[in-house]
Amino acid sequence: MDTIAVVLEKPEHLALSRLDLSPPGPEDVVVDVEWSGISTGTERLLWSGRMPPFPGLGYPLVPGYEAAGRVVSAGADAGLSVGDRVFVPGAHCFSGVRSLFGGAAARLVVPAARALHVADDLRERAVLMALAATAHHAIVKAGRQPDLIVGHGVLGRLLARLVLAQGGEAPTVWECNPERAGGGDGYPVVDPAEDPRRDYRAICDVSGDSTLLDTLIGRLAAGGEVVLAGFYSEPLSFAFPPAFMREARIRIAAEWQRSDLLAVRDLVGDCKLRLDGLITHCCDASEAADAYRTAFTDPHCLKMILNWSAC
């Protein structure tokens, strides 16, 4: 088999290419992708060439870790059925390119254990499962719900929605960009310059801004914690005395786990977590080059997805 895939040939040079696929085994499924998402965090760094050295990273590569589609073939031991709609967090099934991520393609071959069966009516919103799982993992690792979230992109919004879905008090969300200040649903979105509070117990930063740490520590209550849930391309540092005086804790939330995916799927299925209103742009996969540029440069674009139906 082969497929059409987005290939990042080098920084800021992207093309659609036909690639050979690995043959599926008895525990694999073949998925025809309907939609894939574009990440404005890690994929922006890959596209711009600013991604720090990372195991398995290199060009050319197939980006993407947010794909949703239908199972069109299932191995005897796969445990999924033809026709199931699944979320796929990337794949390693291509020849001739790196596939550290590997989700932006018309067809994927993946172990069934890596695919997540989702409700049929979730449709394109299924691409958001990775970000929802990332938000869930950040809260789980912190051990407490954040009362301040920094950044009102898709991840920040999902964090706030998760806090409310789990019965927590509405967190404050910081956002400096007025284009993204709207859309707070049950929680306040404020400019940090207009927020006088300096007693936050748990701050979750999803901004990816490596210069913010001193500011965030200065807003903590004694014994408070900053959870770094974004992806940072530059080294982070902080002044020791303010952190010492607050006995502050700094925690890094790494990649989500399977348990996070299952948890958010249950919350979505129980109508406790909404995924609507987060996808703002959709382009045909044939327009991938323009779509990636829009995703990374247009402040009105919260989430860009590619439609692979024509491929």
Looking up residue 70, the CATH number of its domain turns out to be: 3.90.180.10
> Quick check: is 188 in a domain?
yes
Q: Is 295 helix (H, G, I), strand (E, B) or coil?
A: helix
Query: For position 115, what pLDDT does the model report?
Result: 97
Whether 215 and 162 map to the same domain: the answer is yes
Tens of pLDDT, residue by residue over 176-209, are 999 899 989 899 999 999 999 999 999 999 999 9
> Quick check: is 262 in a domain?
no
> Quick check: is 64 in a domain?
yes
In the chain, how many domains are there?
2
> Quick check: is 258 in a domain?
no
Whether 146 and 82 map to the same domain: the answer is no
Whether 153 and 230 map to the same domain: the answer is yes
Whether 112 and 150 map to the same domain: the answer is no
Of the candidates 219, 216, 148, 159, which has an alpha carbon nearest to the alpha carbon of residue 185?
159
Domain range enclosing 238? 131-252
Query: Across residues 289-305, what is the average pLDDT?
Result: 93
pLDDT at 99 > cutoff 80: no
Query: Could you report how far apart the first and last alpha carbons of the chain are, in Å?
Result: 14
Domain boundary among 205, 235, 252: 252
Asked if residues 86 and 112 have their Cβ atoms less than 8 Å apart, the reply is no
> Quick check: is 269 in a domain?
no
Whether 248 and 135 map to the same domain: the answer is yes
Query: Across residues 103-130, what is the average pLDDT?
Result: 97
> Quick check: is 33 in a domain?
yes
Asked if residues 156 and 183 have their Cβ atoms less than 8 Å apart, the reply is no
Cα distance between residue 242 and residue 169, in whole Å? 27
Whether 101 and 43 map to the same domain: the answer is yes
CATH of residue 169: 3.40.50.720
Whether 141 and 220 map to the same domain: the answer is yes
Q: Is 23 helix (H, G, I), strand (E, B) or coil?
A: coil
> Quick check: is 274 in a domain?
no
Quick one: CA torsion of 73, 255, 295, 160, rounded to 10 degrees?
110
Whether 79 and 55 map to the same domain: the answer is yes
Asked whether the bond before 60 is cis by omega within 30 degrees of 0, the reply is yes
Tens of pLDDT, residue by residue over 218-255, are 999 999 999 999 988 889 999 999 999 999 999 999 88
> Quick check: is 11 in a domain?
yes
Asked if residues 98 and 55 have their Cβ atoms less than 8 Å apart, the reply is no
Determine what percent of the chain is predicted with pLDDT higher than 70: 99
Whether 113 and 136 map to the same domain: the answer is no
Query: For position 262, what pLDDT does the model report?
Result: 97
- Mean pLDDT score of the chain: 94
